[in-house]
Amino acid sequence: MRIAIVYYSKTGNTKKVADLIAEGAKKIDNVDVKSMSIEEIDNEFLNEAKVVIFGSPTIAGTFAWQLKQWLDAAKNVSGKLGAVFATANYVGGGAEVAELSMIAEMLVKGMLVYSSGVAEGQPFIHYGAVCIKDGDDGQKERAKIFGERIARKAVELFN
């Protein structure tokens, strides 16, 4: 099963978190994960993916316009399981709003949305993983856990 992690990264922090999420997802057997910037999309991999995890820096309290523009044109995400993550420069910088905005985009595109929420216990991951810059040790660990949980749910749903 393929999982695509699609992100926009302005400073490199969001890319680093995408790679942490991929590391966590790879802990689940029979999962092939690829992390890709919107500037370098592997369309074949994306088309075959059952899951797409979107990531963005938080900019002016929402997600990056570059990812919004990409999502507006995307035609190959409908029916897939989706999840989100965000990076921010500081606590209270709007990361939850950015995540909710990405979730709204996913729903409009006809995606299924999953975050693991409180269903899998601590750590609770409400809307998606959040890291300040590229994350402190705890945030990095939660990003890996998030990836693992999304991959586990994907295998449960699609295998």
**Residue 159: its pLDDT value, please?**
86
Q: What is the pTM of this model?
A: 0.96
How do residues 139-154 score in pLDDT, each as one tens digit? 999 999 999 999 999 9
Answer yes or no: are the C-beta atoms of 70 and 40 closer than 8 Å.
no
Beta-ladder partners of 132: 88
d(CA 65, CA 67): 5
CA angle 71, 59, 147 (to 5 degrees): 60
**Residue 93: its pLDDT value, please?**
80
How do residues 69-105 score in pLDDT, each as one tens digit? 999 999 899 999 999 999 999 888 899 999 999 999 9
d(CA 136, CA 80): 30
**Residue 92: its pLDDT value, please?**
84
Which of 159, 150, 126 is CA-nearest to residue 51? 150
Domains (ranges, CATH) in the chain?
2-158 (3.40.50.360)
Share of the chain above pLDDT 90, in %: 93
How do residues 8-35 score in pLDDT, each as one tens digit? 999 999 999 999 999 999 999 999 999 9
How do residues 33-68 score in pLDDT, each as one tens digit? 999 999 999 999 999 999 999 999 999 999 999 999
